[in-house]
Chains A and B, each alone.
Chain A
């Protein structure tokens, strides 16, 4: 297991390295560079000045060279300054990361807390009225575009009934936990509604499959009751595929957070990356995207570990 983890960490690091080059390249393809921005801010700048500055900051070099320089500095711990915020990149990213992780963790746990029982109950009575209702709700959730849903939530709960804030974030010092929670309700609801349907469907399908197996008949034949049959014998087997799909879904949730955070003006990673790209804040966008990549890789690694714990047939040597 230790060796497996070490191997996967090396693998993840390689993916991250590759991604850093790809993202750096894409950033390089974006129109304009920092010097163009300086020109637009200062009309007195001459083209000689621009050439001089490009040479000074190494922007006249080919992209591979610039990437190598950036990488050397990044590995040394210098990720550069954010142009928009005039602060070191990490000082800007960490609070945003905290906000996003809080939003994602709450949404993810809430989604699973709803999806697992619903999926299990639906699977116990497939094609019953309850099952059809759950499926209908799940498909509605899957089909709703998250940006549209977000707008509807704002119109209904913030504008019409004025119950909840339409965006932003509360601070603990001002209004306490409840005040902070009020700001989270709509973004969390938005993310949960768009992800819970898929989770429910996966759980239901995996449980139906598990409940059809011979070992379920064996469990019943030895006198196990329905709760034990479902929760002990079927659920653990059903969780094996569900964990995989849900972990891959974690990356999707992250990109869903980008839309949700932007619409609800919630200061998280998604909004930060969006603002960084729109504002040509190269350093911030680059590192922000790498953080997102890292989170997805960590999600996959956790799924592998969970997988091995659930299924004894899988052994990582």
Chain B
């Protein structure tokens, strides 16, 4: 249980985490369906990659797959997840446990239900620490209190003794972040960390995550459906649709020059891009169920540019920066 904190990669440009060709499949009616299909991306030190998409597009499943926590009966069908070059998908559960929460930590969406209601937040943070470092209960406790203080909780000594229901939503999420960061991970996966919070608190939590990143240079995978939030935190953006990444690009160019028709549709739905008083445009149709996706390009049934070729053949997925998965990319 005493896996030392992982050595930072020698070359700062070398990705901390490299995901390639990742499939997550569920067995259904004798066959199997891929909820995540050929996903690839890289996380680099000190940078934030935002994974954007609608509910059910496979964002969270991708994150859970990185940690080997795909819920049954789903499983990783193919692909590789390399952390500092070390393949994680072939590790057994014991070895993975040494990575989870230690090298790669995760913050979840709903801090009320993601914290265990019957233990104090101090206990839960101290537990995360003791799982990975040999420390006495007292040392772990001190570590938890200093971490709570560090994430901006006033009177941390006393707050550590509070149960989750005794804290406000914002404080709970701060406690979750303290729990994720207590082992000084170099990858933080934040799965919709601000979705359940008030707008004012959202800003504070985003600032906190960015401040922590600046301080220890961790790579952040930020999962969100909210392009407004993404524009505030992301260095790079990967847009996910129906289980695949359809476009990957630096954040600045995504908002300035979206290339995939789906991305363009998403950005047009943002308030502020339409003239005041006008109706916000919407993308017609709904996300196809992952068991009944269209043949060819998955977006073809909702895309105004789609032609016969789009409906017959899938474009290659966008697996690295600047790539777009569309036959009609850059079409007018």
What range describes how many residues of B lie at the interface?
20 to 34
- B69 CB contact (under 8 Å) in A217, A236, A313: A217
Q: Beyond A214-B108, A310-B118, is A221–B163 a contact (Cβ under 8 Å)?
A: no
Does B65 interact with chain A (Cβ within 8 Å)?
Answer: no
Q: What string of 1s and 0s marks CB contacts (under 8 Å) between A212-256 and chain B?
A: 011101111111111000000100110000000000000000000
Does B234 interact with chain A (Cβ within 8 Å)?
Answer: no
- Are the C-beta atoms of B69 and A218 separated by less than 8 Å? no
Does A49 interact with chain B (Cβ within 8 Å)?
Answer: no
- Are the C-beta atoms of A219 and B118 separated by less than 8 Å? no
B110 / chain A contacts, CB cutoff of 8 Å: 214
Q: Beyond A217-B114, A218-B114, is A225–B97 a contact (Cβ under 8 Å)?
A: yes
Nearest residue, chain A, Cβ from B120: A312
Within the assembled complex, what's the spacing in Å between the Cα atoms of A225 and B95? Answer: 11
- Are the C-beta atoms of B163 and A237 separated by less than 8 Å? no
Nearest residue, chain A, Cβ from B96: A223
A226 / chain B contacts, CB cutoff of 8 Å: 93
- Are the C-beta atoms of A221 and B118 separated by less than 8 Å? no
- B163 CB contact (under 8 Å) in A214, A215, A312: A312
Does B115 interact with chain A (Cβ within 8 Å)?
Answer: yes
B99 / chain A contacts, CB cutoff of 8 Å: 223
- Are the C-beta atoms of B98 and A237 separated by less than 8 Å? no
Q: What string of 1s and 0s marks CB contacts (under 8 Å) between B176-189 and chain A?
A: 10011000000000
- Are the C-beta atoms of A222 and B179 separated by less than 8 Å? yes
Within the assembled complex, what's the spacing in Å between the Cα atoms of A313 and B120? Answer: 11
Nearest residue, chain A, Cβ from B115: A215
- A215 CB contact (under 8 Å) in B64, B101, B113, B128: B113
- B114 CB contact (under 8 Å) in A214, A237, A312, A313: A214
- A312 CB contact (under 8 Å) in B67, B98, B102, B117: B117
- A223 CB contact (under 8 Å) in B108, B113, B118, B131: B131
- Are the C-beta atoms of A224 and B118 separated by less than 8 Å? no
- Are the C-beta atoms of A221 and B106 separated by less than 8 Å? yes
B118 / chain A contacts, CB cutoff of 8 Å: 236-237, 310-312
Nearest residue, chain A, Cβ from B3: A223
Does B100 interact with chain A (Cβ within 8 Å)?
Answer: yes
- Are the C-beta atoms of A313 and B67 separated by less than 8 Å? no
Nearest residue, chain B, Cβ from A220: B69
Q: Which of A213, A219, A223 has the most CB of B within 10 A?
A: A223
Give the Cβ gap from A232 to chain B, nearest Cβ, in Å.
8
- Are the C-beta atoms of A223 and B116 separated by less than 8 Å? no
- Are the C-beta atoms of A220 and B100 separated by less than 8 Å? yes
Does B75 interact with chain A (Cβ within 8 Å)?
Answer: no
Give the residues from 163 to 206 in chain A that come closer than 8 angstroms, CB to CB, to chain B. none
Q: Beyond A217-B69, A237-B117, is A223–B97 a contact (Cβ under 8 Å)?
A: yes
Nearest residue, chain A, Cβ from B116: A215
Within the assembled complex, what's the spacing in Å between the Cα atoms of A217 and B64? Answer: 9
- Interface residues of chain A: helix, strand, loop or mixed (majority): helix
- Are the C-beta atoms of A224 and B69 separated by less than 8 Å? no
A236 / chain B contacts, CB cutoff of 8 Å: 118
Does B251 interact with chain A (Cβ within 8 Å)?
Answer: no
- Are the C-beta atoms of A224 and B97 separated by less than 8 Å? yes
Within the assembled complex, what's the spacing in Å between the Cα atoms of A313 and B112? Answer: 13
Within the assembled complex, what's the spacing in Å between the Cα atoms of A215 and B121? Answer: 12
Does B105 interact with chain A (Cβ within 8 Å)?
Answer: yes
- A219 CB contact (under 8 Å) in B93, B98, B116: B116
Q: Which of A214, A225, A313 has the most CB of B within 10 A?
A: A214
B94 / chain A contacts, CB cutoff of 8 Å: 225
B106 / chain A contacts, CB cutoff of 8 Å: 221
- Are the C-beta atoms of A224 and B117 separated by less than 8 Å? no
Give the residues from 127 to 174 in chain B that come closer than 8 angstroms, CB to CB, to chain A. 127-128, 131-132, 163, 165
Within the assembled complex, what's the spacing in Å between the Cα atoms of A237 and B117? Answer: 8
- Are the C-beta atoms of B100 and A223 separated by less than 8 Å? yes
Within the assembled complex, what's the spacing in Å between the Cα atoms of A225 and B132? Answer: 12
Give the Cβ gap from B65 to chain A, nearest Cβ, in Å.
12
- Are the C-beta atoms of B114 and A215 separated by less than 8 Å? yes
Give the Cβ gap from B230 to chain A, nearest Cβ, in Å.
22
Give the Cβ gap from A5 to chain B, nearest Cβ, in Å.
22
- B105 CB contact (under 8 Å) in A214, A217, A219, A221: A221
Q: Beyond A218-B108, A222-B101, A222-B128, is A313–B116 a contact (Cβ under 8 Å)?
A: no
Within the assembled complex, what's the spacing in Å between the Cα atoms of A82 and B128? Answer: 64
Within the assembled complex, what's the spacing in Å between the Cα atoms of A313 and B131? Answer: 26
- Are the C-beta atoms of B113 and A214 separated by less than 8 Å? yes
- Are the C-beta atoms of A221 and B100 separated by less than 8 Å? yes
Within the assembled complex, what's the spacing in Å between the Cα atoms of A214 and B180? Answer: 15
Give the Cβ gap from A242 to chain B, nearest Cβ, in Å.
14
Q: Beyond A237-B118, A310-B118, A313-B165, is A224–B131 a contact (Cβ under 8 Å)?
A: yes
Within the assembled complex, what's the spacing in Å between the Cα atoms of A217 and B163? Answer: 18
Q: Which of A233, A236, A237, A312 has the most CB of B within 10 A?
A: A312
Give the Cβ gap from B270 to chain A, nearest Cβ, in Å.
29
- Are the C-beta atoms of A222 and B165 separated by less than 8 Å? no
Q: Beyond A218-B108, A312-B163, is A223–B132 a contact (Cβ under 8 Å)?
A: yes
A310 / chain B contacts, CB cutoff of 8 Å: 118
Q: Which of B99, B116, B128 has the most CB of A within 10 A?
A: B116
Give the Cβ gap from A245 to chain B, nearest Cβ, in Å.
18
A313 / chain B contacts, CB cutoff of 8 Å: 117, 163, 165
Interface on B for A, CB 8 Å cutoff? Answer: 64, 67, 69, 93-94, 97-102, 105-106, 108, 110, 113-118, 120, 127-128, 131-132, 163, 165, 176, 179-180
> Can you list 7 A-B pairs with a CB-CB distance of less than 8 A?
A221-B100, A221-B101, A223-B98, A223-B99, A310-B118, A312-B163, A312-B165
In the A-B complex, list the 10 residue pairs whose CB atoms are closest, starting with the nearest.
Answer: A222-B101, A223-B101, A214-B113, A215-B116, A223-B100, A222-B128, A312-B163, A221-B106, A214-B114, A223-B97
**13 other A-B residue contacts (CB within 8 Å) besides A218-B179, A222-B179:** A217-B108, A218-B116, A220-B100, A221-B69, A221-B105, A221-B106, A221-B108, A225-B93, A310-B118, A312-B117, A312-B165, A313-B163, A313-B165
